[in-house]
Amino acid sequence: MGKVGIEERSIWNEWIQNKNEDNTNQLIDHYMYLVQYHVQRIASNLPKSVQKEDLRSLGLFGLYDAILKFDPNRDLKFDTYASFRIKGAIIDGLRKEDWLPRSAREKVKKIDFAVEALEQQLQREVSAEEIAAHLKMKKEEVEEVIKDSFFSNLLSMEDKGANDEYKEGIGYHIPDEKELTPEENVLKQEKLHQLSQHIQKLNENEQLVLSLFYDKELTFTEIGKALGLTTSRISQIHKQAIFKIRQMFS
């Protein structure tokens, strides 16, 4: 099981010999930091409506599963093995729970249709304000739906729409839910890692807009004021960044 400390080896030896509840709890306590670490990382990329305690419960399930299935005789660090199980359990749980409500999914579809209709009519990029006016929604609500649907789609980044092509625009296809195999879960984690790398390939303005919109949770209008650009231009930069990321994945 790779190089481990004396205390860690002792806990594992006790668990191998007894495999009772006390020994299992010892291992869970010892590796709880892995759950906390991955909960924090995943939660930072999800809407505030997703509770960290729910993610923690999913992560604990992944850790427990890792303990039961880990072979200490293999030349593999438990931390590495458990991390895959923990992240996979959290992502899989999010998919099964379908944390993006049906009402939000309906709004995503409405925004998609509105974007297509407005862009065909105006023959140019459209802003969040124009979408909101067309749908009689608040601009902030439109931006929030865009943000939540973006994170929802990260959980299915490798899925494609009709004709194996990603859709360009503010809205995009949210595929049907399906249960993932452990192998697919590992691939999904790799996709999320690739996402981080792809974002770093964007130009400075695109990275900044994504950071301010998704991390700092500023509106397009607020970002525009901060950067001295129009709201429409910020919307355009955002769309370009999302499209580039999708092209990198295709």
- Predicted local confidence at residue 232, as pLDDT: 82
Q: Is the pLDDT of residue 157 over 50?
A: no
Closest C-alpha among 69, 247, 87 to residue 180: 87
* Tokens at 171, concatenated: 């809205």
CB atoms within 10 A of CB 222: 15
Q: Is the pLDDT of residue 26 over 80?
A: yes
pTM: 0.47
What is the overall mean pLDDT for the chain?
75
Name the band, by pLDDT with cuts 50, 70 and 90, for residue 181.
low
Query: For residues 171 and 100, which has the higher predicted lDDT (pLDDT)?
Result: 100
Tell me how far apart the alpha carbons of residues 8 and 225 are, in angstroms, rounded to a whole number: 53
Which residue in this structure is represented by tokens 């495999």?
19
Which residue in this structure is represented by tokens 């509770």?
51
- Residue 205: Cβ-neighbour burial (10 angstroms; 0-12, 13-18, 19+): middle
- Predicted local confidence at residue 182, as pLDDT: 56
- Predicted local confidence at residue 5, as pLDDT: 65
Mean pLDDT of the region 147-162: 52
Q: Is the pLDDT of residue 92 over 80?
A: no
3-state DSSP of 126-194: CCHHHHHHHHCCCHHHHHHHHHHHHHHHHCCCCCCCHHHCCCCCCCCCCCCCCCCCHHHHHHHHHHHHH
- Predicted local confidence at residue 37, as pLDDT: 92
- Predicted local confidence at residue 36, as pLDDT: 94
- Predicted local confidence at residue 104, as pLDDT: 66
Q: Is the pLDDT of residue 209 over 90?
A: no
Name the band, by pLDDT with cuts 50, 70 and 90, for residue 250.
low
Name the band, by pLDDT with cuts 50, 70 and 90, for residue 230.
confident
Mean pLDDT of the region 177-188: 53
Structural domains for the chain? 6-97 (1.10.1740.10), 102-249 (1.10.10.10)
Q: Is the pLDDT of residue 192 over 70?
A: no
Query: For residues 94 and 24, which has the higher predicted lDDT (pLDDT)?
Result: 24
Mean pLDDT of the region 138-165: 60
Mean pLDDT of the region 59-66: 92
Query: For residues 192 and 240, which has the higher predicted lDDT (pLDDT)?
Result: 240
Listed in sequence order, the residues at least 6 apart from 40 whose beta carbon sits closer than 8 Å to its beta carbon are 52
Query: For residues 116 and 193, which has the higher predicted lDDT (pLDDT)?
Result: 116
Mean pLDDT of the region 183-204: 72
